[in-house]
């Protein structure tokens, strides 16, 4: 199946804020087998990601592809752009009050319009994993397998604190997108990861340390594909993660589901903490939820879900068999 970007309109959508909109346009891409001929996997992208999940420029091309862990010979892969992420998007109103639960409702409506009644799996990394939790909380029978990676079902105080600082940088810096990205890279990785990679080496040409050059590179790179408004909007979505925002418990939200839940944690993640996943797994196992916690061992921290492709592939092969 071709991977061209497609558009779909959700009409008369009312977010939880109570604001009403005549229509809401979302974009998405299909990869792999033709729709209706194979099990369907929805992959939810990360904060600065998009629907281009595989192929030459795909952000997960070592995981998704022909004869890869998510084999396009066997599955139909769908990736929907989180509205506001700026990927081939014009005139999105970033002042719209949406939380991540609203995005989950929108994604479910996209599935309905595509006449997809059941997914084989929902996979998501970082905010995409948070979104996966939101989707199963709304529609318990949405997929056979839910696979959130380096994420959580709620924004804890540590996450809220970091998004608060991101907001301050985005509001007050002379180079808001670049400086916010530099800060973000420091909690996406770990001290050990940076120390091992750079060893205090210097970029002689620039007269700075290589770690500084690397951070500056990521700042410039994000400028090329991400706007200030998009960054602010997605940052606020991230901090709004909470499937219990209606005051119902985690257990009451998830227990009715018959889905297998496979939480994938990174042992060195200092953004979404692996201990939180252990607590979630323990709580839901007590409710007889089919849930397992898989661990990626890495020095690289949160971004290990993009780096440790061999480990992730092995876990996916086991889960999706």
For the chain, the domain total comes to: 2
Q: What is the mean pLDDT of the chain?
A: 96
Check whether residue 165 and residue 287 sit in a common domain. no
**Could you tell me the pLDDT band of residue 210, with boundaries at 50, 70 and 90?**
very high
Residue 25: inside a domain: yes
pLDDT at 293 (0 to 100): 98
Portion of the chain with pLDDT greater than 90, in percent: 92
- Residue range 22-43, pLDDT digits in tens: 688 999 999 999 999 999 999 9
pLDDT at 3 (0 to 100): 74
pLDDT at 47 (0 to 100): 95
Residue 1: inside a domain: no
CATH of the domain at 231: 1.10.1740.110
- Residue range 69-84, pLDDT digits in tens: 999 999 999 999 999 9
Check whether residue 119 and residue 190 sit in a common domain. no
Q: Is residue 288 over pLDDT 70?
A: yes
Cα dist from 23 to 9, 12, 20, whole Å: 6, 6, 9
DSSP designation for 160: H
Q: Are 145 and 320 in contact (CB under 8 A)?
A: yes
CATH of the domain at 120: 3.40.50.1820
Q: Is residue 18 over pLDDT 90?
A: no
Residue 283: inside a domain: yes
CA atoms within 13 A on the CB side of 295: 12
Last residue of a domain, one of 189, 219, 236: 236
- Residue range 108-136, pLDDT digits in tens: 999 999 999 999 999 999 999 999 999 99
Alpha carbons 144 and 120: distance in angstroms, whole number:
5
**Could you tell me the pLDDT band of residue 221, with boundaries at 50, 70 and 90?**
very high
Residue 314: inside a domain: yes
Task: Could you list the beta-strand ranges (E) of the chain.
Answer: 6-11, 23-32, 40-44, 64-65, 70-71, 76-80, 119-125, 143-149, 202-203, 208-209, 260-266, 291-296
- Residue range 269-280, pLDDT digits in tens: 999 999 999 999
The arithmetic mean of pLDDT across residues 186-201, rounded, is 97
Check whether residue 85 and residue 189 sit in a common domain. no
Check whether residue 129 and residue 169 sit in a common domain. no
The arithmetic mean of pLDDT across residues 219-239, rounded, is 95
**Residue 25 in tokens:** 């346009």
Check whether residue 133 and residue 10 sit in a common domain. yes
pLDDT at 1 (0 to 100): 54
pLDDT at 32 (0 to 100): 97
């Amino acid at each position: 199946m071709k991977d061209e970007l497609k558009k779909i309109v959700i009409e008369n959508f009312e977010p939880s804020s109570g604001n009403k909109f005549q229509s809401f346009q979302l974009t998405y891409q299909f990869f792999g087998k033709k729709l209706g001929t194979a099990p369907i996997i929805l992959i939810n992208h990360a904060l600065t990601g998009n629907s281009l999940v595989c192929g030459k420029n795909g952000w997960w091309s070592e995981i998704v592809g022909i004869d890869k862990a998510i084999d396009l010979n066997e599955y139909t892969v769908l990736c929907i752009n989180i509205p506001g992420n700026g990927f081939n998007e014009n005139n999105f109103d970033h002042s719209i009050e949406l939380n991540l639960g609203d995005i989950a409702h929108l994604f479910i409506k996209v599935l309905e319009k595509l006449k997809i009644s059941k997914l084989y799996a929902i996979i998501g990394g970082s905010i995409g994993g948070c979104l996966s939790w939101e989707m199963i909380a709304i529609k318990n029978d949405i997929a056979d397998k839910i696979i959130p990676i380096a994420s959580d079902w709620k924004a804890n105080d540590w996450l809220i604190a970091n998004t608060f600082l991101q907001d301050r940088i985005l509001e007050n810096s002379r180079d808001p997108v670049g400086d916010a990205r530099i800060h973000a890279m420091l909690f996406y990785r770990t001290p050990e990861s940076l120390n091992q990679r750079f060893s205090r080496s210097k970029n002689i040409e620039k007269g700075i340390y290589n770690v500084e050059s690397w951070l500056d590179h990521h700042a410039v790179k994000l400028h090329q594909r991400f706007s200030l408004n998009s960054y602010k909007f997605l940052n606020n979505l991230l901090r709004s993660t909470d499937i219990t925002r209606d005051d119902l418990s985690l257990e009451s939200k998830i227990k009715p589901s018959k889905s297998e839940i496979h939480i994938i944690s990174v042992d060195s993640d200092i953004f979404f903490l692996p201990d939180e996943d252990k607590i979630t797994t323990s709580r839901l196992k007590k409710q007889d939820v089919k849930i397992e916690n898989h661990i990626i061992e890495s020095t690289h921290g949160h971004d290990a879900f993009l780096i440790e492709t061999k480990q992730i592939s092995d876990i996916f092969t086991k889960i999706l068999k």
